[in-house]
Structure 1
Amino acid sequence: MFSKSDNLIGQANSFLEILEQISQLAPLNKPVLVIGERGTGKELIAARLHYLSQRWEQNYVKLNCAALNDNLLESELFGYESGAFTGASKRKEGRFEYAHNGTLFLDELANTSALIQEKLLRVIEYGEFERVGGTRTVKVDVRLIAATNEDLPSLAEQGEFRADLLDRLAFDVVTIPPLRERREDIMTLAEHFAINMTRELSHEFFSGFSKKATQTLLDYEWPGNIRELKNVVERAVYRNSPSIPVHDIVIDPFESKYRPKQRIKAVSNVETKDNQEPPAIANNETATIDKRSKPNDDEITTSADIQEPKPNFSFPIDLKSASQSFEIDLIQQALADSQFNQKKTAEKLSLTYHQLRGYLKKYNLLENSEN
């Protein structure tokens, strides 16, 4: 069952809607897909789905798909027969067999290969598989819960994830809101983590947060979500005197005046032609640049020192038309540079996949950009 420290906490409407969705999904013997950014609590959601289901007394088995290569992942999931490969001296059951009549949670599902995805599809459809190196069909009754921080529909469109597996997994999808969309929950979670850390340090009580600390916590965007918040709060509590409210919040523990200097590859101070790579540095050497002192011009030239020539415009000019032409050229160059992979193109342009699709439709570029 859940420990007290693992309880899902929050009062934001978006979060309460997720809890309601889980309550409705839990009793069903259907696969569920949990999607969310890193640190949003996907594993806690999966555990809640299991322990609220009729399978709560049976095994709840977990596996991170990104932690193993394809061969090991296949063996872990489906087991193997004696002699299947070097070192396989006896038969080994896999995670699906361990989870028989229970629940199997697969994290980082997007990292699985086409072979693994094909075998997962068969288990979902027919409840059967063969162990590695075996021919006998093994039947299991397992509820599958999968999680990822990737946009699986986009990966399916690009052929990087099986569309038929996605269809079977997505009986329903639980999409967890990031912490920046749950700002009313930030201090509730922060106090929860602070109190737990206070107990761990054997302090008598938690003195709270100062106004400055509270504002710092509320103003930050939390790209690492709840996991990052937990680390920041626990660090602040242990560094703080237990008799006064927490005042200083250290978001980045690496920030220090003694932090090692950044290593930047040097670029020769020579002219290069368009689209030509600068000459490589002999023996693959790198230059260490101290940001606090600027080197002499004849010592080193970095890519940051090379100024792009500013374009010359002839006025009057149609700003709207010029802007559209610039956007089209930029998108087309990014597409070509990404070999027309739309997900990679969106990343190069700092857009979401759906924002990029909007631009492609706007400028009628879809036909030339489909994979």
Structure 2
Amino acid sequence: MPSEVSLPRMIGESASFLEMQEHVSQVAPLNKPVLIVGERGTGKELIASRLHYLSSRWQNNFLKINCAALSDALLEAQLFGHEAGAFTGATGQRKGLFERADGGTLFLDELANTAMPVQEKILRVIEYGEFERLGGNQTLKVDVRLVAATNEDLPALGRAGKFREDLIDRLAFDVVTLPPLRARKDDILVLAEHFAISMVKEMDEDFFAGFSDAVQRQLLSYSWPGNIRELKNVIERAVYQHPNKTVSRLVFNPFESPYRPSVSPVRETVETTAVSTSEDSVPAERVSGEDKAVVDWDGESLDFRQHIQDYETDLLRKALEHCQFNQRKTATHLNLSYHQLRGYLRKYDLLS
């Protein structure tokens, strides 16, 4: 490999980390699909990149897409491309990611969020290396190595009929499972110092003065639900708040404040109603009159529709965080179908 191409840097010295690294190095040279499994923030995209650059395909394209960030129709168009006139707004031919990644690697993140029809087409590409663009009738041949990632239990989804088991079989030639940060205790301080020094350089400061003993104990005892991504945020936040000083305080939750807004009485009332209402029911009465229902609450004018929107947005954010941003789990948690949840996320611009 030429010197100008450098592998994505991975830092760690714990036994679980080194074992995972060895696993990646062994499977990388093979022209076989690989499934990466790990919690959010564990570095799944970094592993996918490493699989590509350690393979014979390293000089060709490494393309990636987050399957949870797009609607089913848009995801299908992005993956397989389309012909002019395939759907409204398709004014010209467009090559999809499979076609553009020919000879290289395609990384599908959040694979569990793909719809069954898309899964079927992905399966065909893996098995036969062929597909058609949307709206086209020409069969195209490609040579693409597929690397996919998920934070879900795909075999369990397969048994429940929510994911194609034959696709799982094709993808799981080998499965690389990433250890969460709480299982990499020996790496926490190493990673923390690396992020701290990088932040010092970014701020053009002179040096990093280190962590206090109390902070080191905090770092080692915290559960790190957001894993390495969360650690990076916590450390960078602490360093900029302690320039050229020993870091003596960490802020794990930047939203914590004695002045944090509380849930309004209107939201609490709506929450009680929402819990007792099924996903397909409609209110027995509808408010007539102005488009915006403004009511008087203890002498204060309140925009009812805005309060409903604020409540739903807040509830969606909290549910996503509780379910580690896994959309299917969030839908189940909220007693919604997956497509209903996606509709709400699009409505409030929460898909990005």
- Scaled by the length of structure 2, what TM-score is found? 0.75
Q: Deviations over 1:319-358 (max 9, x none)?
A: xxxxxxxxxxxxxxxxxxxxxxxx97xx98xxxxxxxxxx
Q: Within the alignment, does 1:75 sit opposite 2:83 as a pair? A: no
Q: Deviations over 1:150-195 (max 9, x none)?
A: 1101100100000000000000000001000111100000000000
Shift of 1:25: 0.3
Give the residue type in structure 2 aligned to 1:183. K
**Which residue pairs with 1:258 in the alignment?**
259
1:311-326 to structure 2, matched below 5 A, reads: none
1:58-137 to structure 2, matched below 5 A, reads: 58-137=60-139
Cα distance in 2 between the residues matched to 1:213 and 1:71:
48
Cα distance in 2 between the residues matched to 1:263 and 1:45:
44
Q: 1:208 to 1:254 in 2, by over 3 A?
A: same
Q: 1:82 to 1:185 in 2, by over 3 A?
A: same
Shift of 1:219: 1.0
Cα distance in 2 between the residues matched to 1:118 and 1:162:
8
Q: Among 38, 41, 54, which residue is 1:36 paired with?
A: 38
Q: Among 173, 176, 184, which residue is 2:175 paired with?
A: 173
Q: 1:99 to 1:217 in 2, by over 3 A?
A: same
1:165-244 to structure 2, matched below 5 A, reads: 165-242=167-244, 244=245
Cα distance in 1 between the residues matched to 2:5 and 2:259:
42
Contact 2:197 2:208 (8 Å CA) reproduced:
yes
Give the residue type in structure 2 aligned to 1:91. Q
Contact 2:37 2:178 (8 Å CA) reproduced:
yes
Shift of 1:89: 1.5
Q: Deviations over 1:283-329 (max 9, x none)?
A: 8999x9xxxxxxxxxxxxxxxxxxxxxxxxxxxxxxxxxxxxxxxxx
Query: What's the % identity of the aligned pairs?
Result: 61
1:210-359 to structure 2, matched below 5 A, reads: 210-242=212-244, 244-263=245-264, 265-266=267-268
Cα distance in 2 between the residues matched to 1:200 and 1:276:
51
Q: Among 10, 13, 20, which residue is 2:12 paired with?
A: 10
Cα distance in 1 between the residues matched to 2:194 and 2:180:
18
**Which residue pairs with 1:328 in the alignment?**
none
Shift of 1:60: 0.3
Q: Comparing 119-128 with 65-74, which one deviates more in the overlay?
A: 65-74
Give the residue type in structure 2 aligned to 1:166. I
Q: Deviations over 1:72-108 (max 9, x none)?
A: 1111000001111122111100000110000000000
Gaps of 5+ in 1: 269-274, 289-342, 349-371
Cα distance in 2 between the residues matched to 1:276 and 1:171:
45
**Equivalent residue of 2:106, what SS?**
strand
Give the residue type in structure 2 aligned to 1:215. R
Give the residue type in structure 2 aligned to 1:226. I
Give the residue type in structure 2 aligned to 1:220. Y
Cα distance in 2 between the residues matched to 1:210 and 1:165:
50
Q: Deviations over 1:131-157 (max 9, x none)?
A: 000010010000000001111011001
Q: Based on CA coordinates, which of the two structures has the bigger radius of gyration?
A: 1
Contact 2:42 2:228 (8 Å CA) reproduced:
yes
**Which residue pairs with 2:148 in the alignment?**
146
Give the residue type in structure 1 aligned to 2:170. R
Give the residue type in structure 1 aligned to 2:155. P
Q: Deviations over 1:44-74 (max 9, x none)?
A: 0000000000000110001111111011111
**Equivalent residue of 1:125, what SS?**
helix
- Scaled by the length of structure 1, what TM-score is found? 0.71
**Which residue pairs with 1:299 in the alignment?**
none
What number of residue pairs does the alignment pair up?
283
Gaps of 5+ in 2: 278-283, 288-292, 298-327, 334-352
Shift of 1:3: 6.7
Contact 2:205 2:243 (8 Å CA) reproduced:
no
Give the residue type in structure 2 aligned to 1:54. S
User: For the aligned residues, what is the CA RMSD?
Assistant: 2.7
Cα distance in 1 between the residues matched to 2:258 and 2:91:
55
Task: Could you list the structure 1 runs, at least 4 aligned residues long, displaced by more than 4 angstroms after superposition.
Answer: 1-4, 264-268, 282-286
Shift of 1:266: 4.7
**Equivalent residue of 1:49, what SS?**
helix
Give the residue type in structure 2 aligned to 1:106. L
Q: Deviations over 1:214-268 (max 9, x none)?
A: 11111110000000000000000001131x2111100000011111112365569
